[in-house]
Amino acid sequence: MIALAGTLVVHLLVVVVWVLGLAPWAWLLAILILNHAVLLLGMRPGSRILGPDMRRLPPAAAALGQVALTFDDGPDPVVTPQVLDLLDTAGACASFFCIGTAARAHPDLVREIVRRGHSVENHTERHALTFAAYGIGATRREILAAQRTLAPLAGRTPAFFRAPFGLRSPFLAPAIRGLHLTYLSWTRRALDGARGDATAGLARLTRGLAAGDILLMHDGRCARDRGGRAVVLAILPALLDVLAARGLRSVSLAMAAEVVSEPTPPSGADASN
């Protein structure tokens, strides 16, 4: 909101200065270009120029050796069940950022995600290419539509939101006001939604991997390797092995949030009580 308010002020001042002829138009144009450049930087994943962006788990979760595996763009009737099976085998939990239209097409898959102990979160209703260019009203409608689709299927209202492609709309903060949604991006991603190289994707996820990281993969709209297999299915088993070897535990975002909300025992309290 501060960035948007600042942008409005800049534009109003530029208009006033131009009308009064107090500065050359080239200078005013440069100011507007600089202002919009700042907004573009704020749309990048991880930037906090336009508002809060959760890139890592809270310190309390990191202290327990927790990481968050997150999967975007599902559910997919072929890939998602295989991802769930791999997670089950490793005893890992994750969060699935589902698209509303895909969830309505495969409601039983959404229920199965929850039944197996994972959380379902909001990835918009349609995953529109132009989502980052929406105004406040259109942004809110897109997110609310997904909330209304996912909440009854998951048995809980999604508490986290990730934008398509991780590109944040300048109007996102006012659009989600009152929806009790935390916006987040990631610490590192596999790029398995765009590139068919599982080895490179695994390297991106594991290079510098540490407790508290949020990892991004895709169980929908997945890139395929040369054999036609979803890249995430090649990455995930090896990634789960790396987590186990490093003593890291994969949890859902909901589980990490529960750790943070647990009360801290009073100093000097008897642990046996």
DSSP sequence for 130-159: TGGG--HHHHHHHHHHHHHHHHHHHTS---
Task: Say if residues 34 and 6 touch (Cβ distance below 8 Å).
Answer: no
CA nearest neighbour of 81 among 104, 121, 126, 111:
111
Distances (CA, A) of 181 to 32, 111, 123, 139, 221: 31, 21, 11, 13, 24
Query: Residue 108 catalytic?
Result: no
Catalytic member of 53, 72, 76, 213: 72
Distance, CA of 147 to CA of 161 (rounded, Å): 10
Catalytic member of 73, 213, 218, 219: 218
Largest CA distance in the chain: 76
Where does the chain have alpha helices with state H? 2-20, 25-42, 59-63, 79-90, 100-105, 107-115, 136-154, 172-175, 198-206, 231-245, 253-261
Distances (CA, A) of 188 to 80, 167, 192, 212: 21, 15, 12, 11
89 C-beta neighbours (distance < 10 Å), count: 10
Task: Tell me the one-letter amino acid at 131.
Answer: F
Query: Residue 72 catalytic?
Result: yes
Which residues are known catalytic residues?
A: 72, 218
